[in-house]
């Protein structure tokens, strides 16, 4: 039996974390119609990620596969999601990133459509801005970038690199699609994801209420 | 004891699948007031379908009956739903259809009312369009037909046949009523159902937000 | 030990039904802040009803008391809700009524405020109108009466009697307050309650969407 | 081993109550991204309060710490939330206050933004106004104060003192932030919290529906 190029016990631990979180996010309705994907760093060259096309509310550890940071499958016949590269580019660029979460909630999708032309959503005046790692005050503004949607992942990944070059960032939207958020570990990535979703929901409500 | 014209062990398996899914959809509020019905193909001439008028949140396998593709009860004294014909016409026409799901969510009902005059809802620009079997890109549009409601099922079924003649289709709306969606098996039918509901919800939100 | 004027085993059975339903409706958010009350007929002169002021999400069978049809406590030191008379007038008037459910969902409360001046909400064009006992078609309209709110229960009960004199009725709203719905048993009362709530929600959505 | 300045068995009982309620409120989505904090009185000089920054949906009794009424940690190395003073000022001022709940629901946050300029939200014409301790009728109005948000807690606490000087009060909002509500015990504080959230939600809906 060949030696695996990653630590299988670490994979088991990360897979368990991904499955638990994925089922909780699915129960919120954030992964409709088998959409969304979730990953965690294994080591300096590998990540664990959900297999494409599985029902996220029924995910098991058998639905988690290993990829390298070019997004290629490692020691598996599973097919990774087309969007795997959007996960691995973050692990490759930032040694401190340990988890990437991509969801399709209704608030995320609607906000992405509504603000696509403007190119970003400005979040300002909310206490919950303090949920983003490094922010100490609500007296700030966060602009969430909205990228045009495309099936050309290398092109989208190149656009994301430019966004990351521009300064600190905890996530972004893709038009008609959903949200990417990340953090040093599952807890931080999820805190960022929840903060983005909540604040986008508030922005949508305020637009409905202040014509 | 007479021989049943269908395989009872297959019925038991399909009934278990229908009960599990129905309870989950009921928990989402998609089957208000005992509405909605759900079916799966048994073989070339029979389908298993929910008995009319049962509380979908409390469904058990005793609430599943067998019908032929004319919608008539088979080896049972249960009464099928008036809408059984809308299920069986799909099994009769398409050998590859294995499951038909009909729900009454608020988004489905409101969208059907709002777009009834126009006759369809256009879904365009969403990544989740890739959830419909055969679609490989978000750069497409899906028009969801909205039929006028009627208690005359043969007449409605004839209108549905014309829709199916016109090209590939994964579901339709009935005005003031709800959604029909189908697929090769429970997983695909449910993926289509979830995609329709999500995208209709997004369309309603966008209409609220862009006056 | 005195003989109770009602059958205690029937009370135990009805109390169990009330507790199970109440907890489910509470989980939907329809009983905020200990509001709402629920009852079932015991016999020709007694009903079982929830004690006032209990958290409906934590209800137990000890929170169910017996009242006569004048709304007076029977063989108990518990205090009934001020609105008990609105339950018992239905049992007294209609021998076939077995269950009365009163909830405070957001849709019910908002619809009652919005349509208070008009005095009713018209529900028309919905398949779910067939959920009301006796309706065979969606081609009908149901006007849900909205009464002004008052703390004077005998006066409100007298207004309700006039409504009931006017024809078949499955429920009514009270302005800024909530919904009363009833039926021959728990299943029918709950089907009516769910149908009212769903259809009121649709009406509110359609008003938001069609300015 | 030193003697603790509070009764540890009382702490255990209060911590269990806080954990149970916090998990329920988290399941409602009222504590996004590790926000919100919850406390109960221990005695005349101490309160139990949630440790800052924990995921409220996964809270355990180890996440509850003790503070004095100046908001300082007692016999613990845990860091209390920056907002601890807003809890303890209520215990210090009112011997009858036994529980303070602070949440960040979407309705609370959106209402606080929308009514910040006006400085309060008027709640009027709702039966549920009777949920506030001491209110016997719906024929009253409650003005919920909206304070500007600040990271300067002593300054905010001083503003709250002025509000409390002005008359009976069950809670207040902070702009872009959330709601504080309190009561004699957990049940009353939660009843007040649920009533505020429900009535704010109704006010937002009515604004959407009556242009």
- Is A176 close to B125, i.e. CB distance below 8 A? yes
- Is C151 close to D128, i.e. CB distance below 8 A? no
Query: By C-alpha distance, which of B148, B149, B138, B118 is closest to B199?
Result: B138
Long-range contacts of D75-79 (CB under 8 A, 24+ apart): D75/D2, D75/D4, D75/D5, D75/D6, D78/D51, D79/D51, D79/D52
Question: Looking at the predicted structure, is the pLDDT value of residue B1 above 80?
Answer: no
Query: What is the per-residue pLDDT across B157-177, written as a single tens digit (0 to 9) for each?
Result: 999 999 999 988 999 999 999
- Is D205 close to C207, i.e. CB distance below 8 A? no
Question: Looking at the predicted structure, is the pLDDT value of residue A13 above 60?
Answer: yes
Q: How far apart, in whole angstroms, are the C-alpha atoms of residue A172 and residue A183? A: 13
Question: Looking at the predicted structure, is the pLDDT value of residue D198 above 80?
Answer: yes
User: Which residues of chain A lie closer than 8 angstroms to B183, CB-CB?
Assistant: none
- Across B205-209, C207-211, D68-72, D97-101, least confident range: C207-211
Band (A61; pLDDT cuts 50, 70, 90): very high
- Is B195 close to A33, i.e. CB distance below 8 A? yes
Q: Distance, in angstroms, between B151 CA and closest chain C CA?
A: 7
User: How far lies D141's CA from each of D15, D127, D129, in Å?
Assistant: 35, 11, 8
How many contacts, defined by CB atoms under 8 Å, are there between A and B? 66
- Percent residues over pLDDT 90 in chain D: 90
* Distance, C-alpha C62 to centroid of its chain: 21
Neighbours of B30 (CB within 10 A): 24
The whole-number pLDDT of residue A42 equals: 98
- Mean of the pLDDT values across residues C164-176? 95
Query: What is the per-residue pLDDT across C100-131, written as a single tens digit (0 to 9) for each?
Result: 999 999 999 999 999 999 999 999 999 999 99
User: Which residues of chain D lie closer than 8 angstroms to A183, CB-CB?
Assistant: none
Band (A11; pLDDT cuts 50, 70, 90): very high
- Is B113 close to C125, i.e. CB distance below 8 A? yes
User: Which residues of chain C lie closer than 8 angstroms to B204, CB-CB?
Assistant: 205, 209
Q: Do the beta carbons of residue C139 and residue C114 sit within 8 Å? A: no
- Mean of the pLDDT values across residues B5-30? 97
- Mean of the pLDDT values across residues A121-126? 96
Strands (DSSP E) contained in chain C are 37-41, 46-50, 64-68, 99-103, 120-124, 141-147, 171-174, 178-183
The whole-number pLDDT of residue B2 equals: 66
- Mean of the pLDDT values across residues C167-173? 94
* Interfacial residues of D (vs A; Cβ cutoff 8 Å): 32-35, 55, 104, 106, 109-110, 113-114, 149, 151, 174-178, 204, 207-208, 211
DSSP 8-state code for residue D62: G
Neighbours of B163 (CB within 10 A): 12
Q: How far apart, in whole angstroms, are the C-alpha atoms of residue B107 and residue B202? A: 9
Q: What is the mean pLDDT of chain A?
A: 95
User: For residue A58, what is the nearest residue in chain B, using CA coordinates?
Assistant: B187
Q: How far apart, in whole angstroms, are the C-alpha atoms of residue B49 and residue B60? A: 12
The whole-number pLDDT of residue A210 equals: 87
Query: By C-alpha distance, which of C126, C118, C124 is closest to C141?
Result: C124
- Is B110 close to C139, i.e. CB distance below 8 A? no
Q: Is the dihedral of CA C163, C166, C171, C176 positive or negative?
A: negative
Band (B80; pLDDT cuts 50, 70, 90): confident
User: Which residues of chain D lie closer than 8 angstroms to A205, CB-CB?
Assistant: 106, 110, 204
The whole-number pLDDT of residue C163 equals: 97
- Mean of the pLDDT values across residues C45-68? 95
* Interfacial residues of B (vs A; Cβ cutoff 8 Å): 28, 125-128, 131, 136-139, 187, 190-192, 194-195, 197-198, 201-202, 205-206, 208-211
Query: What is the per-residue pLDDT across B36-49, written as a single tens digit (0 to 9) for each?
Result: 999 999 999 999 99
User: For residue C208, what is the nearest residue in chain D, using CA coordinates?
Assistant: D209
Mutate to test the interface with D, among C176, C202, C208 (most CBs of D within 10 A): C176
Query: What is the per-residue pLDDT across C92-103, written as a single tens digit (0 to 9) for each?
Result: 999 999 999 999
Query: By C-alpha distance, which of B210, D71, B149 is closest to A118?
Result: B210
Phi, psi angle pair for A198, to nearest 5°: -65, -45
Question: What are the tokens at A30?
Answer: 């954030």
| 3-class secondary structure, B61 | helix
- Percent residues over pLDDT 90 in chain C: 91
Consecutive H or E run containing D70? none
Q: Give the one of D109, D151, D177 whose C-beta lies nearest to A137's C-beta.
A: D151
- Beta strands A64-68 and A99-103 are unpaired
- Is D128 close to C104, i.e. CB distance below 8 A? yes
| 3-class secondary structure, D12 | helix
Consecutive H or E run containing C58? none
Q: Do the beta carbons of residue C198 and residue C171 sit within 8 Å? A: no
The whole-number pLDDT of residue C2 equals: 66
How many contacts, defined by CB atoms under 8 Å, are there between B and C? 65
Helix locations, chain B, DSSP H? 8-27, 84-93, 106-114, 153-165, 186-209
Q: Do the beta carbons of residue B58 and residue B18 sit within 8 Å? A: no
| 3-class secondary structure, A51 | strand
Q: Is the dihedral of CA C155, C158, C162, C164 positive or negative?
A: positive
Chains that touch B (3 or more CB pairs under 8 A): A, C
Q: Distance, in angstroms, between C2 CA and closest chain D CA?
A: 36
The 3 state secondary structure assigned to C135-181 is CCCCCCEEEEEEECCCCCHHHHHHHHHHHHHCCCCCEEEECCCEEEE
Burial of residue C54 (CB within 10 Å: 0-12, 13-18, 19+) is buried
Q: How far apart, in whole angstroms, are the C-alpha atoms of residue C179 and residue C123? A: 15
Indicate yes or no: pTM above 0.90: yes
User: For residue C211, what is the nearest residue in chain B, using CA coordinates?
Assistant: B211
- Is C127 close to B55, i.e. CB distance below 8 A? no
Q: How far apart, in whole angstroms, are the C-alpha atoms of residue D150 and residue D85? A: 13
The C-alpha torsion from A26 through B53 and C102 to B111, rounded to 10°, is 50
Q: Distance, in angstroms, between D106 CA and closest chain A CA?
A: 6
Residues 6 or more apart in contact with residue C114 via CB below 8 angstroms: C204, C207, D206, D209, D210
User: How far lies B109's CA from each of B105, B174, B201, in Å?
Assistant: 6, 8, 11
- Mean of the pLDDT values across residues B55-60? 93
User: For residue B187, what is the nearest residue in chain A, using CA coordinates?
Assistant: A55
* Interfacial residues of D (vs C; Cβ cutoff 8 Å): 125-128, 131, 136-139, 187, 190-192, 194-195, 197-198, 201-202, 205-206, 208-211
Query: What is the per-residue pLDDT across B91-113, written as a single tens digit (0 to 9) for each?
Result: 999 999 999 999 999 999 999 99
- Is A211 close to D211, i.e. CB distance below 8 A? yes
Q: Distance, in angstroms, between D8 CA and closest chain A CA?
A: 30
Chains that touch C (3 or more CB pairs under 8 A): B, D
Q: Give the one of D191, D197, D205 whose C-beta lies nearest to C110's C-beta.
A: D205
Mutate to test the interface with C, among B36, B104, B176 (most CBs of C within 10 A): B176
- Percent residues over pLDDT 90 in chain A: 90
Question: Looking at the predicted structure, is the pLDDT value of residue D206 above 60?
Answer: yes
Burial of residue A159 (CB within 10 Å: 0-12, 13-18, 19+) is middle
Band (D210; pLDDT cuts 50, 70, 90): confident
User: Which residues of chain C lie closer than 8 angstroms to D198, CB-CB?
Assistant: 32-33, 104, 106, 109
- Is C110 close to D206, i.e. CB distance below 8 A? yes
- Mean of the pLDDT values across residues D62-76? 96
DSSP 8-state code for residue B122: E
Neighbours of D136 (CB within 10 A): 10
Question: Looking at the predicted structure, is the pLDDT value of residue A80 above 90?
Answer: no
Beta bridge partners of D72: none
Q: Give the one of D32, D114, D176 whose C-beta lies nearest to A138's C-beta.
A: D176
* Interfacial residues of B (vs C; Cβ cutoff 8 Å): 32-35, 55, 104, 106, 109-110, 113-114, 149, 151, 174-178, 204, 207-208, 211
Burial of residue B168 (CB within 10 Å: 0-12, 13-18, 19+) is exposed
Neighbours of A114 (CB within 10 A): 20
* Distance, C-alpha A198 to centroid of its chain: 15
Query: What is the per-residue pLDDT across D141-189, written as a single tens digit (0 to 9) for each?
Result: 999 999 999 999 999 999 999 999 998 899 999 999 999 999 999 999 9
Query: By C-alpha distance, which of C117, D121, D175, C155 is closest to A128?
Result: D175
Question: What are the tokens at D85?
Answer: 């003073």
- Is B149 close to C138, i.e. CB distance below 8 A? yes
User: For residue B209, what is the nearest residue in chain A, using CA coordinates?
Assistant: A208
- Is B194 close to A106, i.e. CB distance below 8 A? no
- Is D208 close to C208, i.e. CB distance below 8 A? yes
Q: Do the beta carbons of residue A135 and residue A157 sit within 8 Å? A: no
Q: How far apart, in whole angstroms, are the C-alpha atoms of residue C34 and residue B87? A: 43
Q: How far apart, in whole angstroms, are the C-alpha atoms of residue B69 and residue B85? A: 7
Question: Looking at the predicted structure, is the pLDDT value of residue C40 above 80?
Answer: yes
DSSP 8-state code for residue D73: B
The whole-number pLDDT of residue D2 equals: 66
Q: Distance, in angstroms, between C87 CA and closest chain D CA?
A: 17
Q: Give the one of B195, B206, B211 whose C-beta lies nearest to A114's C-beta.
A: B206
- Beta strands B178-183 and B120-124 are unpaired
């Amino acid at each position: 039996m060949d030696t695996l190029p990653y630590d299988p016990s670490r994979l088991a631990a990360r897979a368990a974390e991904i499955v638990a979180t994925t089922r909780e996010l699915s129960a919120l309705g954030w992964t409709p119609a088998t959409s969304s994907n979730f990953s965690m760093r294994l080591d300096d060259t590998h990540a664990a990620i959900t297999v494409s096309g599985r029902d996220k509310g029924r995910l098991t550890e058998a639905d988690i596969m290993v990829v390298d940071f070019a997004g290629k499958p490692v020691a598996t016949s599973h097919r990774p999601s087309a969007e795997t590269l959007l996960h691995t580019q973050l692990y490759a660029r930032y040694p401190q990133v340990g988890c990437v979460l991509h969801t399709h909630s209704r608030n995320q999708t609607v906000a992405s459509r509504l603000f696509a032309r403007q190119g970003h959503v400005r979040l300002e005046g909310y206490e919950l801005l303090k949920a983003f790692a490094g922010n100490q005050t609500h007296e700030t503004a966060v602009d969430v970038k909205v990228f045009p949607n495309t099936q050309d992942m290398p092109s989208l990944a190149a656009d994301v690199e430019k966004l990351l070059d521009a300064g600190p960032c905890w996530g972004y939207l893709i038009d008609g699609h959903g949200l990417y958020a990340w953090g040093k570990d599952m807890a931080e990535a999820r805190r960022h994801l929840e903060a983005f979703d909540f604040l986008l929901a508030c922005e949508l409500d305020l637009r409905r209420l202040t014509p």
